[in-house]
Amino acid sequence: MRREIQAIFAESIAAKQRFLREHAATIERVVQVAVDALRNGKKILLFGNGGSAADAQHIAAEFVNRYEMDRPPLPAVALTTDTSALTSIANDFSYEEVFSKQVEALGRAGDVAWAISTSGNSPSILRAVEACRRLGIHTVGFTGGSGGKLAKLVDMSLCVSATTRTARIQETHILVGHTICDLVDRALFGDLQSRVAPVSARPAARRARRGPSRSVRGR
């Protein structure tokens, strides 16, 4: 079993290393687009299916609450959480429209959308990106393997090309998401970072007065 464990870790590390070689410049662009949008009062929309839905919610919470430093909340909405909207759209129209209708309702020109699909071919994700393009919303595609149709449809593609294995792709996606959160915080609130210690570095008594941390990290 030890050999299998080592092989899984090695495969995940290799996927991340190749991604970094291929997409470091794209990450820089995604960060800058997000920073510009947030500075101009825009928001980030995130959507995906299954594990990618969980990733969308995870990253949205990092923006709305905090990533590591205490700073003002940032507007981000995961379109995967409103069960009434999701189920009514799927029931009355089709599952393919569960995200596109929410984009049409909530999205505005200048917003940024993170479309997450490990295959790059999820119909509901592609329909939502098409809606974003009509509305003038910047699109970022998180995908894997060949990138599928999504890679060609978005403004910025972050494709884990080293593998088609869903688990390895998702592991890379969450690292990329955390990296973007970190760099956005530094760009917007670097002055706070120099003056305010992370919660984990504060005295226990002070943390106790503030109550338990609500960050999604570590859950």
For residue 167, tell me if it sits in a domain: yes
Radius of gyration of the CA atoms of the chain, in A: 18
Q: What pLDDT is recorded for position 153?
A: 98
- Contacts (Cβ under 8 Å, ≥6 apart) of 36: none
Maximum distance among all alpha carbons in the chain?
53
Residue 211 lies in a domain: no
Q: Is the residue at 210 inside a domain?
A: no
Task: Decide if 170 is inside a domain.
Answer: yes
Specify if 17 maps to a domain: yes
What pLDDT is attached to residue 209?
41
- What pLDDT is recorded for position 200? 56
* 50 lies in some domain: yes
| This prediction's pTM | 0.86
The Cα–Cα gap between 184 and 72 comes to 13
Domain assignment present for 120: yes
pLDDT tens track of the chain, all 219 residues? Answer: 999 999 999 999 999 999 999 999 999 999 999 999 999 999 999 999 999 999 999 999 999 999 999 999 999 999 999 999 999 999 999 999 999 999 999 999 999 999 999 999 999 999 999 999 999 999 999 999 999 999 999 999 999 999 999 999 999 999 999 999 999 999 999 866 555 455 555 444 444 444 434 444 443
Domain count, the chain: 1
Closest of 160, 185, 184, 152 to residue 29, by C-alpha = 184
Q: 212 to each of 31, 113, 157, 202, how far by Cα in Å? A: 30, 31, 37, 13
Cα three-residue angle 51-169-160, rounded to 5 degrees? 140
Decide if 218 is inside a domain: no
In this prediction, residue 79 carries a pLDDT of: 98
Range of the domain at 179: 9-199
How do the residues of the chain divide into helix, strand and coil, expressed in percent and rounded to 5? 60, 10, 30
Domain CATH code at residue 44? 3.40.50.10490
